[in-house]
Amino acid sequence: MKMWSGRFRQPLDPDFERWQRSFEFDRRLLRYELEASGAHAQALKNAGILSAEELISILQGLEQIGGRATSTPSFLEDREAEDVHHFVEKQLVAMIGETGYKLHSGRSRNEQIATDLRLYVRATIDHLRQEITELCSVLVDRAEQAGEAAMPAYTHLQQAEPVLLGHWLLAYVEMFLRDAERLADCRKRLNVCPLGSGAVAGATLPLDRLVMAGSLGFDVPTANSIDATSDRDFTVEFVNSLSLLAMHLSRWAEEMILFSSHEYGFVILPEAYSTGSSAMPQKKNPDLLELVRGKSGRVLGNAVALMVAIKGLPLAYNKDLQETQEPVFESSDALLQMLPLLVGFMKTVEFDQARMQSVAQTGFMNAWAAATYLVKRGVPSRLAHEKIGKAVQMCVERNCELADLPVEELRSLSPAFGADFHEALKLASVLAVHDVAGGTAPARVREAIRGTRKKIDAVRQEAHAHA
């Protein structure tokens, strides 16, 4: 039986009927639909609508539905169910008889979907936060293993200054930790319970909303039934947070792709995560990284799709809101699948540290440190910059590095150049000069590794507490 056939004289056009269904995708909300229905049933009993026996029978029926869905996946191949809410009602009645129809007393699917989707997003946030900490941990491990290995850092994609490989890895950890924090922030705001909001004006029965909210782990009931049934802000916040996470992963993937090219030669792709070419026998392609970059575009697209779907909707519930589910699921799946693969990739990828180190010592990446040498000897910064610029020009003409210029010759540029200048040009000195919190001096990076591990542990503990 449909949930609404009474006032209709004609059946639905079969193509329309199939087309408007959401069960194909919202069945993944079944678990939350069952939990929320249990809370509602309890409230109906407390309001005197269900007898104790009816409540028990409904709760047992709900449990049975959950059990069958897990044990027999084909149970969910239901061509009649309009959506997950209809499916549960239909199965409940099949299992326990007409009492099953009492479950819907005083509630509307509008509040149900708003509740189920919140529960889904909340659980997914907890799961994602754990996955993010896994990835961050591997990155920090790799940063620690890299020790004092250096690499070139770029600005404008031109060689800029040497940094520790660990410092570069930690840059991404910072981004991912912000993503984890954004998800936690989104979780705070979404954790309110729409149950008892009815279709738009509030439940038609005296249901205890505080108890329902509490039993589902929500902080409080929603404050306004019109807003509660039409609000999908949490999906927008969630998918936008995922877009940022995906965007960070995409930037990282792009760098790794560049670094794995022959021209850079910094990264040796793990065979377990690469593919070959059907035509060119020599190829080892960075498919995992490319797909991370590619799929992140779809995640971003979903964030846009959500806002466009919602922006023109009058209050309150409109069927358009059904369209907000798939972008949420698709983006969640994309990240939940990507993150563990990236953990595996990061554990096995090799850095050609010797090559990185040697490149880090070329291309005048010590020029700013050289200017700093002069600044420390009293030369005004702008003039020091000018002098080193001139020295670089000399090197370009002679096709050599700053360290190849004799001190005597440099003295013609400035008397501030001393015998210790060449020492200041060495990689170790250049790195050590960046001795500020957040800088790349080895001691600072070690300090950052310790601090980052603490931050990761805090996220992990919080995610565990919720799980």
Task: Please pick, from the candidates 266, 317, 345, 421, the single residue that binds ligand ARG as defined by CB under 6 A.
Answer: 317
Contacts of 422 (CB under 8 A, 6+ apart): 403, 407
Min separation Cβ 308 and ligand ARG, Å: 17
Q: Which stretch binds ligand ARG (CB under 6 A): 134-142, 263-271, 297-305, 316-324?
A: 316-324
Stretch that binds ligand ARG, among 47-55, 319-327, 428-436, 448-456 (CB under 6 A): 319-327
Nearest to 422 by CA among 459, 398, 391: 391
Q: Is 22 in the site for ligand ARG (CB under 6 A)?
A: yes
Nearer to ligand ARG, 188 or 319 (CB): 319
Stretch that binds ligand ARG, among 151-159, 313-321, 380-388, 405-413 (CB under 6 A): 313-321
Which residue of 34, 62, 81, 113 would you call a contact of ligand ARG, by CB under 6 A? Answer: 113
- Nearer Cβ to ligand ARG (105/322): 322
Whether the upstream peptide bond of residue 39 has omega within 30° of 0, thus cis, is: no
Residue 172 as a binder of ligand ARG (CB under 6 A): the answer is: no
Gyration radius from the chain CA atoms? 30
Token readout for 15 is 């193509």
Shortest approach of ligand ARG to residue 142 CB, angstroms?
43
Q: Which is nearer to ligand ARG, 26 or 54 (CB)?
A: 26
Q: Measured at the alpha carbon of residue 79, what is the angle toward residues 75 and 85, in degrees to the nearest 5?
A: 75
Name which of 54 and 82 has its Cβ closer to ligand ARG.
Answer: 82
Q: In this structure, how many other beta carbons lie within 10 angstroms of the beta carbon of residue 461?
A: 10
Find the shortest distance in angstroms from Cβ 333 to ligand ARG: 18
83 in contact with ligand ARG (CB under 6 A): yes
- Judged by CB, which is closer to ligand ARG: 317, or 417? 317
The residue from 5, 51, 261, 277 that is catalytic is 277
CB 319 to ligand ARG: min, Å: 6
The smaller minimum CB distance to ligand ARG, of residues 305 and 456, is found at 305
- Which tokens in the block code for residue 165? 């490989």
Stretch near ligand ARG under the rule CB under 6 A, chosen from 46-54, 107-115, 153-161, 167-175: 107-115
Nearest to 294 by CA among 240, 326, 328, 254: 254
Instruction: Tell me which residues in 24-43 interact with ligand ARG (CB under 6 A).
Output: 26
The span from the CA of 184 to the CA of 181, in Å, is 5
| Chosen residue from 177, 242, 300, 321 binding ligand ARG by CB under 6 A | 321
Which has the closest alpha carbon to 76: 120, 121, 26, 38? 26
Count of residues interacting with ligand ARG (CB under 6 A): 11
- Considering the candidates 74, 156, 262, 412, report the single residue annotated as catalytic: 156
Whether 156 is catalytic: yes
Can you tell me which of 110, 240, 353, 452 binds ligand ARG, judged by CB under 6 A? Answer: 110
Among the listed ranges 164-172, 202-210, 261-269, 314-322, the one in contact with ligand ARG (CB under 6 A) is 314-322
Least separation, in Å, of the C-beta of 29 and ligand ARG?
9
Binding part of the chain for ligand ARG, among 62-70, 106-114, 365-373, 381-389 by CB under 6 A, reads 106-114
Rounded to the nearest whole angstrom, what is the least distance from the CB of residue 106 to ligand ARG in the complex? 15
Among 176, 119, 109, residue whose Cα is nearest residue 328: 119
Minimum gap (Å) between residue 154 Cβ and ligand ARG = 47
Minimal distance in Å, beta carbon 427 to ligand ARG?
A: 59
322 interacts with ligand ARG by CB under 6 A? yes
The pairing of beta strand 158-164 with beta strand 150-155 = antiparallel
Closer residue to ligand ARG, CB minimum distance, 88 or 96: 88
109 binding ligand ARG? (CB under 6 A): yes
In the residue annotation, 277 being an active-site residue is answered as yes
Comparing CB distances to ligand ARG, the nearer of 183 and 305 is 305
Task: State the nearest-atom distance from the C-beta of 110 to ligand ARG, in Å.
Answer: 5
Q: Which residues are catalytic?
A: 156, 277
Instruction: State the residues that interact with ligand ARG by CB under 6 A.
Output: 22, 26, 83, 109-110, 113, 317, 319, 321-322, 325
